[in-house]
Amino acid sequence: MLKLGFCNVFVNWVMCLVSTVSYSFLINGIPKVYIRPTWGVRQGDLLSPYLFLLCGKGLTSMLRSAEERRAISGIRISRESPSISHILFADDTMIFGRATVEEAEVIMGVY
């Protein structure tokens, strides 16, 4: 999130929300047991869709920047078409480029 330009205060707020998740069980309408999971955000948490979109946007921005610097090449469907460096669909990511050590290192640096 810092690479996307968010300030430290906002990033710390989000990290606090992610790391302080707790669940409680209602017994006869009264909260009885509180559980603090050892991992962060779970599927179904209200914050999950927003974090997913934010991470996808961040990854897209960083890959586009690497492509503009000509550090990765992407692929072209035809000579006149724009270059495609990656595709995000649901929870899958496909990254396209040349099979070289240099491009692999750039992509690993993005992650």
Query: What pLDDT, in 10s, does the model give residues 6-37?
Result: 888 988 887 777 666 666 776 677 777 676 66
Closest C-alpha to 41, from 54, 58, 59: 54
| Domain housing 42 | 8-110
Rounded distance between C-alpha atoms, residue 7 and residue 14, angstroms: 11
Residue 34 inside a domain? The answer is yes
Rounded distance between C-alpha atoms, residue 26 and residue 18, angstroms: 23
**How many domains is the chain built from?**
1
Residue 1 inside a domain? The answer is no
Residue 101 inside a domain? The answer is yes
Predicted local distance difference test score (pLDDT) of residue 108:
85
The helix (run of H) or strand (run of E) holding residue 31 is strand 30-35
Residue 90 inside a domain? The answer is yes
pTM for the model stands at: 0.59
Residue 3 inside a domain? The answer is no
Q: Which residues of the chain have pLDDT under 70?
A: 18-23, 26-27, 33, 35-47, 111
Predicted local distance difference test score (pLDDT) of residue 47:
67
Q: What is the average pLDDT score of the chain?
A: 79
Rounded distance between C-alpha atoms, residue 74 and residue 67, angstroms: 7
